[in-house]
Structure 1
Amino acid sequence: MDKPIAPAPPAPTAPLRPLPPGAVDAHVHLLAGADEFPLWEGRAEDPAPGRNLDDWLALYRAHLNALGCTRGLIVHSIFYGTDNAVTVEALRRLGPGFKGVGLLPDGASDAQLDQFARWNMVAVRLNYVHGGVLSWDGAKAMAPALAERGLHIQMLAHADRHMEDIAQDVRALPCPVVFDHMGWPADGLTPDSSGFQTLCALLAEGKAWVKLSAPYRMCNAPYDEVAACMSALIAANPERCLWGSDWPHIMLNGAQMPQAAAMVDALDALIPDAATRQSIFVDAPTRLFHL
C-alpha cells in the first residue's frame, strides 16, 4: 500500500522583528531523494517527491535566510530509520555552524560513540512517546560515555504524563537532557499539571533544557493556547531554553501546516527583554551544541 506523502513546506517569510546575529534554529530535519538514501520500511509517510538532498538543502538555506538564522541543529528523521547517513551527509555539506542529533541503540559501543562524535553529532535522540532503538534505561547506561564526549540526550516526552517518573534520573545524569517541543503536554495546554511543573523545576535547577518548538503540533496559529506553557518555561530558566522551527513539518497528523516566522513571532511576543531573547536564540544553543 502506498504511504501518504508529506506536504512540501511553505515558502519562507521573515519574522516581524529580525532575530539577533548568530541566531540558531535548534530543530529541523533534512530529507533527500529515495534513490540517494533508503527510506525506512516502518515510516508513516514519504517525503514530498521530486527533490534530492541538494534541493532540500537549498530550501533549508532559504528557510534560514528568511528567518535570519545562520546556524542550526539537524535532527535525524525517522523517515530513514536508524541509518544516520542522510543526516551525516547533510552536516558534511552544510559545514561549520551546523551540528546533528542522531540515533544510537541501547548498548552502543565506544567505537560507535566515537564515530558518532566524529560525524559532528552532539546528541542521541530518545523517543519516550513512540519508542525506538534507544530506551530510557539504555540512555541512562550510555550517559557517562556521552558526557565523556561532550554529547547529550535529546528526548521527546509528554511532560504531563512522564516527567515525574523520570525527574530524579534526569537530576542524576552526568550529561544534559533536552526536552523537545516544550515537553509536549498531552492532556491540556496549561502549565498546571504536576508533570509540567516538574519540568519547570528541572529547568530552574539547571538540570534540563527545553526547546520552545513546534507549537503547531498542539494548537493552531497564533498559538495563544500554548502561550502560558512557553511563558512558564522561559520564567523558569531562560538560559536553558532554545528555539527550533521543526522544519519542514513532516508527519503533521492533522495539524495545520505552520509558517516558521509566525512561530518566531508568537514566541517573541512572550520574551520579556533583550537579554532573554539573546539567550534563547543565540547563547543557549551556542553553549549546548558547541557551535
Structure 2
Amino acid sequence: MPPYRFDAHCHIFDPHFALQASCAPLPAAFTCDDYRARVAPLGFTGGAVVATPAQGWRQGHLLDALRRLGPGYVGVARLPLNVGNSELDTLNSFGVRGLRLTLKRGASVAPEQCLALARRVHQHTGWHAEVTLDPRELADFEESLAQLPALCLDLRVLARGCLPSLLRLVERGARIKLFGIGRLNASCTALLDDLYSANPQALMFGSGLPSADSTTAAVQRDLDTLSEVLGEAALPRLLWHNAAQLYRVQPF
C-alpha cells in the first residue's frame, strides 16, 4: 500500500451552511469531524471535497471544509456560467483544483455552455472538469468531451455499452473516479481491467462519503475488490499517484 492515500471523492455537509430546498431530499449533516472519524481506519491523508447541487453556487461551505481539513485536501467547485476571473483566483488560492459539471440534454444550462465554461476555467486556472452525465448519453457527448483539455468522469459511466467510448477517452487522457464499487455488477467491475490496461493513469479511488453505501467497511471492501481485479501493484496509482498528478498535490 502507498504511504499516502488520497480520497478522490467525498462531500462535506456542515449544518452551518444552508442547503437548497429545491434539491430535496436533502443530505444529512456530515461535518469534517464526521469525515475524519470515518476515514481514520482507512489511512487517507488527503482528498478532494466535491461540491453538490444542494450547496448551490456559494463557495463558503467548500472553503470552510478545506480550511478545517487542512493540508492535503483540495476542492472541486460548482460555478455559474458568469463566474469572473477574480473569483477563480480566490478559489484557486484556497485550494480549489477542479470544476464540477453536469451535462444533460434539455437541461436549463445547455451542455455547450457548460463545456465552454470548462475550457475558460482551464485556460485561466489549469483546473480539470469533473463531469457527471447519464451513461446513455456518453456516446453522444464523446467527441465534445474529448476536446476538453483535462477531463474526469465518475463511475456512473461504467456500463458495458459505454466501454468503446470510455476506452477512447481514457486513451486520450481522461480520468475516471471509482467510488461505491460495491453497487457495480460483475460485468462492470470487469471493465476496470480494460480501462487500467488502456491507461494506468486513468483510475482514481474515492470513498464517496457520506453516501449510504460508503460505510468504512464498504470502502475497505471496495479496496479489496480493486486489489483482486487489478492486482495490489496497481493500488499506489489508484490511491495516490494518479490523483496527486491531477489535483497537483504534494506529499506532506
Aligned to 2:209: 247
Candidates 38, 41, 63, aligned match of 2:21: 41
Query: In the aligned structure 2, how far is the partner of 1:140 from the partner of 1:42?
Result: 25
Superposed counterparts of 1:202-281, under 5 Å: 202-206=169-173, 208-216=174-182, 218-219=183-184, 224-249=186-211, 259-272=218-231, 274=233, 276-281=234-239
Residue of structure 1 equivalent to 2:5? 23
Shift of 1:261: 1.1
TM-superposed deviation, 1:167: 1.9
Relative to structure 1, is the Cα distance of residues 93 and 122 closer, same or farther in structure 2, using a 3 angstrom cutoff? same
Shift of 1:20: 1.6
Equivalent position SS for 1:178: strand
Structure-1 residue corresponding to 2:240:
282
1:45-85 CA-partner distances (Å, limit 9, x unpaired): 23336x7xxxx212211222211111100001333222221
Q: 2:99 is matched with which residue: 121, 124, 133?
A: 124
Partners of 1:243 and 1:130 in 2: how far apart? 28
Residue 129 (structure 2) pairs with residue 153 (structure 1):
yes
CA contact (8 A) 1:242 1:284 kept: yes
- What is the CA distance between 1:130 and its match in structure 2? 9.2
Q: Distance in 2 between matches of 1:289 and 1:73?
A: 8
CA offsets 1:167-225 (integer angstroms, 9 cap, x no match): 2222222x31100125253xxxxx3x2x331111111232x111122234x44xxx535
Q: Secondary structure at the match of 1:141?
A: helix
**Matching of residue 97 in structure 1 with residue 72 in structure 2:** yes
TM-score, normalised relative to structure 2 = 0.87
Per the normalisation by structure 1, the TM-score is: 0.76
Q: How does 1:80-91 map to 2 (within 5 A)?
A: 80-91=55-66
Match of 1:180 among 154, 161, 176: 154
| Residue correspondences, number | 246
Q: Distance in 2 between matches of 1:270 and 1:87?
A: 34
Q: Do structure 1's residue 72 and structure 2's residue 47 form an aligned pair?
A: yes
1:135 CA drift (Å): 4.4
CA distance in 1, matches of 2:164, 2:151: 17
Note if contact 1:76-1:87 (Cα within 8 Å) is conserved in structure 2.
yes
For residues 77 and 60 of structure 1, the distance between their equivalents in structure 2, rounded to whole angstroms, comes to 16
Maintained 8 Å contact 2:180/2:214: no
- Contact 1:105/1:134 (8 A) holds in 2: no
Contact 1:243 1:280 (C-alpha < 8 Å) held by counterparts: yes
**In structure 2, what residue type is equivalent to 1:26?**
A
Q: Hey, what's the Cα distance between the residues in 1 that align with 2:166 and 2:147?
A: 15
Counterpart CA distance in 1 for 2:7 and 2:53 is 19
Superposition deviation, residue 273 in structure 1? 5.0
What is the distance in 1 between the residues matched to 2:115 and 2:105?
18
Rate the CA distance shift 1:133–1:177 in 2: closer, same or farther, 3 A.
farther
1:89 deviates by: 0.3
SS at match of 1:114: helix
Contact (CA 8 Å) 2:152, 2:175: kept in 1 or not?
yes
SS class of match (1:124): strand
Note closer, same or farther for the CA distance 1:100–1:288 as it changes in structure 2 (3 Å cut): same
- The change in CA–CA distance for 1:61 and 1:96 in structure 2 (over 3 A counts) is same
CA deviation profile, 1:127-176 (whole Å, cap 9, x unmatched): 225987864322322214423312110011233x2222222222222x31
Distance 1:82 1:136, change over 3 A: same
* Equivalent position amino acid for 2:166 in 1: L
Which structure: greater helix fraction?
2
Local SS of the residue matching 1:239: coil
| Cα distance change, pair 122–270 in 1 and its aligned pair in 2 (3 A) | same
CA contact (8 A) 2:52 2:78 kept: no
Q: Name the SS for the 1:270 alignment partner.
A: helix
